Amino acid sequence: MSLDDLYREVILDHYQHPRNYGTLENPDISAQDSNPLCGDEIRIDLKVKDGIIDQVRFSGQGCSISKAAASMLTEAIEGKPIEEVKKMNREDILEMLGIELGPVRLKCALLSLKTLKIGIYGLQGDDLPPEEDEDR
């Protein structure tokens, strides 16, 4: 894949102008995680109404891939039922980004989804399903 493909206009746009960036006051869900390889950190806050994601914000530090993926993810889940969000997987993220990634950058791309799921499963008092851990 060429450099222009990896850093598509849309990825750079989300990186430089992240959507839903920030934190929420009194969120129903707030989850944090980090990528131990590069030290990137992310926090995702959610407000949930009747099983539907009403508001979402993310914050933290990361590379273009990790930030763009988080920004796109927040756009994708706002207004969606929690049960539907639980079904999202790595293919959904890669489809949004529209690029192919090696194993190291894949972890950057999936950090926000992983964090989101930690929050959702934590709210429901469940452990993260084991297959989600394999994303790391």
Contacting residues toward other proteins, per CB under 8 A: 2-3, 6-7, 12, 15, 37-41, 61-66, 105, 108
CB of 113 to other proteins, least distance (A): 18
CB of 73 to other proteins, least distance (A): 18
Buried b (16+ CB within 10 A) or exposed e, 68-78: bbbbbbbebbe
CB of 61 to other proteins, least distance (A): 5
Q: Which is nearer to other proteins, 18 or 27 (CB)?
A: 18
Residue whose token pair is 């989804």 = 113
Cβ atoms of 117 and 132 within 8 Å: the answer is yes
Return the half-sphere exposure (C-beta side, CA atoms, 13 A cut-off) of residue 3: 0
Q: Which is nearer to other proteins, 48 or 113 (CB)?
A: 113
